[in-house]
Amino acid sequence: MLEVVGVTKRFGGVVALNGVTLRVEPGGVTGLIGPNGAGKTTLFNLISGQLRPDEGTIRFNGRSLVGLPSHEICQLGIARTFQLVQPFMHMSVLDNVASGSLFGTHAGKSTSLRTARQEAHALLELGKLAQHAARPAGSLTLSERKRLEMVRALATTPNLLLLDEVMAGLNPAELEEMAGVIRHINGDLGITILMIEHNVRLVMQLCQRVAVLNYGVMIAEGSPEAVVRDPDVVKAYLGERGQQEIMRA
């Protein structure tokens, strides 16, 4: 579904990504892990059109994404969340989600606001936000805003959903709730997911494939079990104690 081949991105003299290759197969959940500053969000920004690679290619279902603006990439079927959530603070929770229905792959198909709101209500049920539909988005808690950002992205009817640290800052109960939403999106709705996540235990539970970035270089890719045992991953990211804790969990 998604092919990133030999992608390099420089910011002045800093090489944020260096010849990165990643393939995401349809139907699964792929985790992207690595230390802070490894280039994970930069890769998301390249895939979703916020940035353009200096070298390499990015293809989605065989079509090049390089040079396309973000809104066109969204309308092709790729949606994303942001590490720092970005709701429309003064709009209602319902209309935040309805905006996705009006903008995404439905764009140009004369979807009415009434229809968009009907679709939004169903998605708010999925995100356990239906009781907050009339509230301004700025009044939500962090956990609720993260779920709002996810369902707003889902409202664009994507084939591929990019999740950027949707678990960060959540307590154990919220983590379990979010994991359940992700399982439903992938397993029941059939949406392919590529997710950046630092909670490696949850990555082990949710993902069929894991890729590891370190200083802009892809150092490992494979099943979660194989990646956790990779010596380069242990040295660069997990540490021996972290590896042992994950394998005991």
- Tell me the average pLDDT across 211-235: 92
Q: Select the more confidently predicted residue: 13 or 108.
A: 13
Q: Where in the chain is the domain with CATH 3.40.50.300?
A: 2-77+158-248
pTM over 0.95: no
Which tokens belong to 26? 């349809």
Helices 142-154, 113-126: axis angle to 10 degrees equals: 130
In what helix (H) or strand (E) does residue 228 lie, and over which residues does it extend?
helix 224-229
Amino acid at 78: I
How far does Cα 116 stand from its chain's mean position?
23
How far does Cα 99 stand from its chain's mean position?
19
* Superfamily of 2-77+158-248 according to CATH: P-loop containing nucleotide triphosphate hydrolases (3.40.50.300)
Predicted confidence at residue 239, as pLDDT, reads: 82
Strand partners, 17: 9
Q: For the segment 34-48, what is each residue's pLDDT rounded down to a tens digit?
A: 999 999 999 999 999
With beta carbons less than 8 A apart as the criterion, state whether 20 and 213 touch. yes
How far does Cα 28 stand from its chain's mean position?
13
Which tokens belong to 208? 């069929």
How many whole angstroms separate alpha carbon 92 and alpha carbon 139?
10
- Tell me the average pLDDT across 47-76: 95
User: Phi, psi at residue 99, to the nearest 5°?
Assistant: -60, -35
Q: For the segment 135-169, what is each residue's pLDDT rounded down to a tens digit?
A: 999 999 988 999 999 999 999 999 999 999 998 88
* pLDDT of residue 100 exceeding 80: yes
Q: Which residue has the tokens 């021996």?
A: 240
